[in-house]
Structure 1
Amino acid sequence: RLMTDNPILRYKDNRALPSSFQGVGLFSNEFDWLSVQGGSFERAIPRTGTGAEKLTTTFGNRAYSGARISYLGATVKPGYGLEASVYASRFEDMWDQTYVGLTHRIGDKSDIALKTAFNYYHTSDSGDKNLGYIDNNAASLAFTATHLAHSLTLAWQQVFGNEYFDYVWESTGNYMANSLYSDYNGPNEKSWQLRYDLDFAAYGVPGLTASLWHAKGWDIDGTHYDGDRNGHNTGYNVRSLDGAKHNENGLMLAYVIQSGTLKNTVLRTIVYNHRASGGQIDGSYDEFRLVANVPINIF
């Protein structure tokens, strides 16, 4: 049972226990410029217990499952502020998914540091097509400028396909820029985000950070969905989505305890405000969370 962390299968840690996955994994970080991950997993262990579940999807018809998900990928850091990641995966009888990520950093935050991040996923049906036909592309581009303790991010994200951009349930296998409380991953959805981050270490309080963001998604359209053609299963219930839209505001304060018995414990306060229309999947809500992540050393 492993807590995997990569663009395809990433553990989720927003309940009493983090999720994990049952199978075999390879992790290699022998070189500063290269890291490699591979794995093959057949069960998910949910955040709410210790039993194992079949692998299903987050946004698709969860009546259908895949026997196994396997992936192989690498991240390369050739220098000059560049970083590139490529992953390929197969969720048996559900989908094949590839991921490409490119990041470039330049400058120094004592003056101005600039970060550009591009993320891209391509998902297509596989094997018995348990979720029907799938042909989905999702891409995001984010620019971040940092000066001393202050960071400002502007991001654009778009889905090209008549179904959700999807990932395995109990995972957060989504490195897209606008993966917030909502994923902004509806069929044909466009979205943007404006975000501000503050690191209080520059003001004598190491471990304390604040984040404030606004995001908006629109043009969610599933009316052209035909993934169930030729007698295949209806994998995604999206045909009623026609011009759906939504937006959210978020504020998070986080503190990492720096020393003592509770060192590395993370305390977070999160306030969400989300408004949706036209049947957008997340609905409208106001939410306040207090979260504590406490590491426990067994050995």
Structure 2
Amino acid sequence: MLKTPIARGVALATLGATLAIPTMAQAAFVDDSKVNLELRNFYFNGDNRQDDAAQSKAEEWAQGFILRAESGYTEGTVGFGVDALGLLGVKLDSGRGRVGTGLLPANDNGAPDEFSSLGLTAKAKISNTVLKVGTIEPKNMAISRSDSRVVPQVFTGTQIVSNEIDGLTLDAGYINQVNNRNSSDYEDLGASLNGGAIAAGNEIDDFIFAGASYKLLKNLTGSYYYSNLEEAYKQHSFNLIHVLPLGENQSLKTDLRYARSTDDGSSTVDNKAYGAMVTYSVSGHSFGLGYQEMNGDTGFAYVGGGTDPYLVNYVMIGADFAKANEESWQARYDYNFAAMGIPGLTFMTRYVTGDNFGADGRGKEWERDTDIGYVFQEGSLKNLGIKWRNGTYRSNADREIDQNRLIVSYTIPLM
């Protein structure tokens, strides 16, 4: 962990010099390189709405700096390169009794003034196959890193992605540690089991995944992934996505998902997850209807620590709507104002309701979310993005929450 801004600057400058050295011998290494700095300002306000809650309010404000340096590849049959990721979160406002937003680390004294980390990735490329070792950011059906706070979640491990056959993508990897969105340190993996359990004393050390995505027809793509979180679960995931053109500026998208999760080691995981989302789009408007059902002794299982599970009803606050035996519906509407001559302005609202969970089967929960975002298209503020996210969550089995998030982001290309 880098302790001070000076130390961070020295480390990142050293990294930049290291990336520049190969220019004398390998032009492609630097010619295809790119470096950018994303500035992300994030305000989070959460009202837990109960006077007797352990913490009735979560409110923090932070500034994030995300520096990405990606080299090209050396020449030859096997090309080699290196990537770097520097993450820095700075506290702008927080306090004891207001922590827990996920923006900043939390301790007995509140939140520290800053947190940071540096990740390095070695990579090799043969034809259309790329191998990465070190810091990786997988985003697939088996595991998807979260990027919904001031800095993203990242992992350490190995990932190989191959696109040698037209229309076919092969993806496999191994992960052994995670650096969460509000942390400077890499930690062992955890699990979100939704009612499952792992025997005491069993440690989670390894996560493996392997999958394929294939374009079966022009408008039909099928995917399959196998994954195993040691001592927690084994999972088979299937997905079909079909887009049916219906004429000028119209389409119907169907997204079907199924996952079978079973125990591993001495865990108790047993779940079948069904999901479907149908979206009709016309002239900037999108109308979606989703359904999700959990069957089995436990709910949906996935890697913990803030990862994004591959579920149609995974949303902002209530998260996954994936408790044992839960059934949930979603209605969603999106509008892209580019259709009426205002490019960069977008709107989304959705409502999700779930029931039939809990010991007596009487558990109910619902959530309503609204996003409004704008990205400046020209002028001195070009590419500056502003997004306001509002959410309301209610449940007869959990706390009630109202949330507002305001995110301002801007990416500066440095190379």
Q: TM-score, normalised by structure 1?
A: 0.85
Number of equivalenced pairs: 275
Question: For residue 249 of structure 1, what is the aligned residue in structure 2?
Answer: 368
Distance 1:85 1:187, change over 3 A: same
Question: For residue 155 of structure 1, what is the aligned residue in structure 2?
Answer: 290
Measured in 1, the distance between the counterparts of 2:377 and 2:275 equals 34
**Residue 138 of structure 1, aligned match among 260, 266, 273:** 273
Question: For residue 238 of structure 1, what is the aligned residue in structure 2?
Answer: none
**Residue 95 of structure 1, aligned match among 212, 233, 244:** 233
Structure 2 SS opposite 1:295: strand
Cα contact 2:191–2:232 (8 A) shared by 1:
no
Q: Which has the higher helix share?
A: 2
Residue 106 of structure 1, CA deviation: 0.7
**Residue 354 of structure 2, aligned match among 217, 221, 224:** 217
Q: Is the aligned partner of 1:73 residue 2:211?
A: yes
**Residue 408 of structure 2, aligned match among 272, 277, 292:** 292
Structure 2 letter corresponding to 1:214: Y
Structure 2 letter corresponding to 1:154: L
Q: Is the aligned partner of 1:112 residue 2:247?
A: no
Consecutive unaligned residues in structure 1, runs of 5 or more: 224-240
Distance 1:14 1:136, change over 3 A: same
Question: For residue 231 of structure 1, what is the aligned residue in structure 2?
Answer: none
Q: Is the aligned partner of 1:13 residue 2:129?
A: no
**Residue 340 of structure 2, aligned match among 190, 203, 208:** 203
Measured in 2, the distance between the counterparts of 1:32 and 1:254 equals 35
Of the structure 1 ranges 61-70 and 25-34, higher mean CA displacement relative to structure 2 is found in 61-70
Cα contact 2:269–2:301 (8 A) shared by 1:
no
Cα contact 2:233–2:301 (8 A) shared by 1:
no
Question: For residue 76 of structure 2, what is the aligned residue in structure 1?
Answer: none
Distance 1:52 1:186, change over 3 A: same
Deviations 1:69-100 (A, max 9, x none): 00011111132310111000111121111110
**Residue 49 of structure 1, aligned match among 183, 186, 195:** 183
Measured in 1, the distance between the counterparts of 2:166 and 2:147 equals 27
Give me the CA root mean square deviation: 2.2
Residue 65 of structure 1, CA deviation: 4.2
Tell which structure's C-alpha radius of gyration is larger: 2
Q: TM-score, normalised by structure 2?
A: 0.62
**Residue 258 of structure 1, aligned match among 371, 374, 377:** 377
Cα contact 1:109–1:147 (8 A) shared by 2:
no
**Residue 24 of structure 1, aligned match among 145, 158, 165:** 158
The percent identity for this pair of structures is 29
Measured in 2, the distance between the counterparts of 1:296 and 1:111 equals 33
Measured in 2, the distance between the counterparts of 1:204 and 1:35 equals 37
Structure 1 SS opposite 2:312: coil
Measured in 2, the distance between the counterparts of 1:261 and 1:166 equals 46
Structure 2 letter corresponding to 1:58: S
Structure 2 SS opposite 1:201: helix
Structure 2 letter corresponding to 1:89: S
Structure 1 letter corresponding to 2:225: Y
Residue 260 of structure 1, CA deviation: 6.5
Deviations 1:46-89 (A, max 9, x none): 11122101100134669764111000111111323101110001
Residue 298 of structure 1, CA deviation: 5.7
Of the structure 1 ranges 60-69 and 29-38, higher mean CA displacement relative to structure 2 is found in 60-69
